[in-house]
Structure 1
Amino acid sequence: MNNCLLCRDEIVHELTPQEIFACKKIKQDFLCSRCGAEFHQIKAPHCPTCFRQQDKSKQCPDCKYWQALGYHNFKHQAIFSYNLAMHDYFKRYKRYGDYVLRLVFQPYLQQVLRQWQPPFIYVPTQKNHWQQRQFDPVKGIFGDLVNLTPALIKLPTSTPQAQKNRQQRLQTPQFFDFNQNYAAILQATQVTILDDIYTTGRTIFHARDCLRQQGYQGQISSLSLAR
């Protein structure tokens, strides 16, 4: 038995037949059923290109915006909708630096990541934010599950994306540079960009642009915990 990382209540794990009869390793839970029910996993219908939860399976306004700018054949998947519970989670994890909370969604991520292929490039935090927290939020969420390639360098910005409105986010100039120590990744046939939250898509498309400007010609897909 272990305790829920959010409310600290004891978690009683119900054994599955596979765990009982096939001697499979017991899955570790980090959320109790009550806390888990507060988070909304994205299911159909949703936007087919960015997984935004909506009433119909048609392209959302954000994706139409990016297509109008010439971005075609992009694919993004998100696992959870960004609701109040997710807002509170990221407030504790990122603003207050509760690093153990990186484990909360690992069972969900593990299952989804099996469908994705390396190399995995993660969206990094900028240097001054790392100094404040002493950890990188996206690296923390995904780093125990897959091998991450630090091919992107986050350049300093005057205002964090989280503090901007939609229009300000979309107008933010490029804030990534490429880490030339990982130039070999530019020869891969496909790469996956990992981020914690997809809001307007600005961060993901800056990351895509950074790779393209370095001459990368393969397929670029992306995955985030929340949308």
Structure 2
Amino acid sequence: MRCVWCRNDVTADSGISSLFMWNSRPICRQCQNLFHSLEKEPICPGCGRLMEEETLCYDCIRWKEMDSYFPMNQALYHYDEQAKEFMERYKFIGDCAVAFLIKEDLKKVLKKYIKQGYTICPLPTSKQSLEKREFESVEYILELSKIPYQQLFQHIGKGKKQSEKTREERMKLQQPFVLKEKVKLPTKILLFDDIYTTGKTIRLAAKLLQDKEIEDIRLFTVFR
């Protein structure tokens, strides 16, 4: 058996004691804690960015100056070079097996929100990206983690992918979502996405819900 991340043989040399099986996917001991957890780190309370001290980052200060509506974002991991490689392999190459690396941590955190009555709502992929990728990358992570969710949005955005845009282009993003027709909106919603970069996409989704007078809206991303 080979580790889903490093592809090393985890049974031949190390033996079964170094092998972790999550839904029949092997992960070697070395790759168990691959990502930098933000759980016990000083972070920006607005977006979850890793900070030297727990205070609002410059981006969040500017956000609050632009818009008084400012739901908080929690992130699971710091978006470092290891995380960038993960997203490249998972989202753009389509190596879905690597998603098992974040499955257990994600399940643990999101179940706390579910117990508090939140409905998890993932952000959908654009039509262009879905045709190229052939799977809903954000929804798949939730399905893998056995986290129930409700899709409230339809993606109507066009043009370049967010990953291909400069920061300036990202900040000029127009509303890429509409609410699905005849959808019944929950009273407590946790918007879920993979990466918080500028925050523009997930905050536009939150704004759409605020316009429907949903007061209890929180944000959650895997990486920040």
Interval containing the TM-score (normalised by the shorter chain): 0.7 to 0.9
Match of 2:140 in 1: 140
Structure 1 residue identity aligned to 2:120: F
**What SS does structure 2 have at the residue aligned with 1:104?**
helix
Tell me if the contact between 2:192 and 2:220 (Cα under 8 Å) persists in the aligned partners: yes
Structure 2 residue identity aligned to 1:210: L
1: distance between equivalents of 2:198 and 2:220? Answer: 14
Structure 1 residues 77-119: Cα deviation after superposition (integer angstroms, max 9, x where no partner): 1011111111111111111111222322101101111221331
TM-score, normalised by the number of residues in structure 1: 0.85
Structure 1 residues 6-42: Cα deviation after superposition (integer angstroms, max 9, x where no partner): 1123175579xxxxxxxxxx97375433334442111
1: distance between equivalents of 2:192 and 2:44? Answer: 19
1:180 matched to 2:176? The reply is no
Structure 2: give runs of 5+ residues left out of the alignment. none
Aligned sequence identity (%) = 26
**What SS does structure 1 have at the residue aligned with 2:94?**
coil
Superposed counterparts of 1:188-207, under 5 Å: 188-207=186-205
1: distance between equivalents of 2:189 and 2:111? Answer: 14
1:62 matched to 2:59? The reply is yes
Match of 1:4 in 2: 3
| Greater alpha carbon shift after TM alignment, 5-14 vs 86-95 | 5-14
Match of 1:121 in 2: 121
Query: Offset of 1:150 from its aligned partner?
Result: 1.3
Match of 1:90 in 2: 87
Structure 2 residue identity aligned to 1:61: Y
1: distance between equivalents of 2:192 and 2:26? Answer: 21
Match of 1:22 in 2: none
2: distance between equivalents of 1:119 and 1:153? Answer: 17
2: distance between equivalents of 1:54 and 1:222? Answer: 19
Match of 1:81 in 2: 78
Tell me if the contact between 1:62 and 1:201 (Cα under 8 Å) persists in the aligned partners: no
Match of 1:48 in 2: 45
**What SS does structure 1 have at the residue aligned with 2:113?**
coil
- Equivalent residues, number: 212
Query: Offset of 1:134 from its aligned partner?
Result: 1.2
**What SS does structure 1 have at the residue aligned with 2:203?**
helix
1: distance between equivalents of 2:28 and 2:205? Answer: 35
Query: Offset of 1:3 from its aligned partner?
Result: 4.0
**What SS does structure 2 have at the residue aligned with 1:168?**
helix
Tell me if the contact between 2:157 and 2:177 (Cα under 8 Å) persists in the aligned partners: no
Structure 2 residue identity aligned to 1:41: S
Superposed counterparts of 1:99-110, under 5 Å: 99-110=96-107
Tell me if the contact between 1:30 and 1:105 (Cα under 8 Å) persists in the aligned partners: no
1:33 matched to 2:34? The reply is no
Structure 1: give runs of 5+ residues left out of the alignment. 16-25
